[in-house]
Amino acid sequence: MEQKNNGGKTKYMGPDIVFENVTKEYDNGVKALDSVSFSINSGEFAFLMGHSGSGKSSLIKLLMLEERPTSGNIIVQGTNLADIKGANVPRFRRNIGVVFQDFRLIQSKTVYENIAFAMEIIGSDRATINKQVDIALELVGLKHKKHEKPNCLSGGEQQRVAIARAVVNLPGMIIADEPTGNLDPDNSVEIMQLLKKINDMGATVLIATHEDTIVKNLSQRVIQLDHGVRQIGQE
Amino acid sequence: MMRFIRTVYYVLKQGLKSICKNLFMVSASVVVVFATLLMMGGLWAISENIQFVVEQYKERPDIRINLHSYIEQEEAEELKAVLEKDGRVKSVVLITKEETRNNIINFLDGDGAGIFEGHEESPALNYISFDIMLEAYTDGAAFKAEAEKLVSVDNVRDTSGFISKLEVVLFWIRIGTVAATVAMAVLSVLLIFNTVKLTVFARKREIEIMKYIGASDWYICGPFVIEGVFTGLVGALLAYFMLGGICNGLYKTLTQSNFLGDTISLLAFKDIDVNFLLWYILAGVATGVIASLWAIRKHVNV
Ligand SMILES: Nc1ncnc2c1ncn2[C@@H]1O[C@H](COP(=O)(O)OP(=O)(O)OP(=O)(O)O)[C@@H](O)[C@H]1O
Ligand SMILES: [Mg+2]
């Protein structure tokens, strides 16, 4: 499965994600991010680490355009996010696969329907949907659970379904906020390895987590966050 | 383009599914839309009919003056000339003794049983009358009072008052129609709004997820709007056929029962039905769409 999808546009060669002095202050005065700067290259795998309240989720919300920065610039694949407005927000989000701690699957839909859903919203035809869903399920190793409902699956399995949904449209980038936060250590390792596998296929991957052991074992780049970026580790 | 058509198809499917899931509340909304439109149409049909009756009455003489039986044609012609010069009078028609007699006999003895045989010369059947049309806005009662003072006049009948009373009734029915329609329309919007709000609430998490994976606003709103359109459409269709049925039924009963006499006719449903179906559908669908968009705007904050 080819993870890079540049939609026929001329390929952008610079870094995938750039934060330039990004500050996020919420309405209640809490400064979640204070002048954060870093960049992530295309095809890179990076962990976003920091203690609770250090602003990891805030950073991801900014990337998903759920929140807007108080100041500073965020550039994703060459586009300044400040320029993306209105109907272009959902279009932008389709280019990023996102995974959450609480899986966020639709309980009333089967595994297949949950994944297919992400393709229906962009108007893919049924044959393509079936093919892609099968490939995604194969990738996460859940083909045999295709017609189960999420509540019949274990946490690890549910998270793998969420990952399948995140990759089914072949986005260039996967972002995960504490994807292993609700999982036991074995499952956590499996999920991280799965995300690494997707990265190996070409997708840029950014994972917010505070699981030191897994991070150490995978020995990938770490962006340490403490309201501002404190340290940018490389392997 | 194909992608667009396919997303429309997915949205439609989602909307229909949501209707099936919510059948009870959707039915309640349909009933309210139906009741609103039926009441609106019913009141409208009533006022159209009253208007029609008023117009029929307006074509009739406002004042009927009956002269004493001993007044002969020549004297009556002179009086007619005097009446015609009166500024309030639009037209005067003289009805001769013979015509009066024939009219009365025809009216009371239509099947020719001969109940008046031998009484043809009775003064009760032989008098001259004037049918007078007054100019608009003339005080019929005052004119009647004046006419009654004339020596040759036996009695005067004034029907102009009846029409103005009918017109007052008509006016209030029309006001009532507007007021009741506004009230019921507000009720419909509120009910559909609440129904859709319930659906939105039940699917809040799903909507959140849809937003994360990049569903556009119209893709998210579409199913709810379809729910509203469906409610309005079904309500409108039901109301239309119900109204047609009731109107035709009443028309048949009233015209056949002779309740109104031969002199007054009513409008059948097909005479009132000026694109009713179209207006009903427009009103119903507009109500549904407004209510559901309002419900989503408030709760999804798209
Ligand atoms: N919507 C909000 N309004 C106000 N303050 C907020 C909001 N979201 C987050 N915060 C505050 O911003 C700070 C950073 O929160 P954030 O959720 O980004 O941290 P985090 O690194 O993800 O923490 P955790 O590891 O616990 O998930 C916290 O102090 C939090 O209370
Ligand atoms: Mg967090």
How many Cβ pairs within 8 Å bridge chains A and B?
Answer: 60
Q: Is the CB of A50 under 6 A from ligand 1?
A: yes
Please write the tens of the pLDDT for every residue from B257-292. 766 666 677 888 888 777 888 988 998 999 889 888
Q: Considering just the CA atoms, what is the radius of gyration of chain A in Å?
A: 17
Which residue positions in chain A have pLDDT lower than 70? 1-12, 227-235
Which residue positions in chain B have pLDDT lower than 50? 302
Is the whole model's pTM more than 0.80, yes or no?
no
pLDDT confidence of residue B170: 84
Best residue among A26, A49, A62 to mutate for probing ligand 1's pocket (most ligand atoms within 8 Å of CB) is A26
pLDDT confidence of residue A4: 47
A90: nearest CB among B205, B209, B215:
B215
Q: Where are the domains of chain B?
A: 2-57+164-300
Q: What CA–CA distance (Å, rounded) separates B30 from B37?
A: 11
Q: What CA–CA distance (Å, rounded) separates B59 from B69?
A: 27
pLDDT confidence of residue B250: 87
Task: Establish whether this prediction's ipTM goes over 0.85.
Answer: no
**Closest residue in chain B to residue A171, using alpha carbons only:** B213
Mutate to test the interface with A, among B205, B207, B209 (most CBs of A within 10 A): B209
pLDDT confidence of residue A6: 46
pLDDT confidence of residue B259: 61
The DSSP H or E segment spanning B95 is: strand B89-95
Give contacts of A90 with chain B, Cβ < 8 Å: 211, 214-217, 219
Q: Determine, for residues B214 and A87 on separate chains, whether the beta-carbon distance falls below 8 Å.
A: no
pLDDT confidence of residue A229: 63
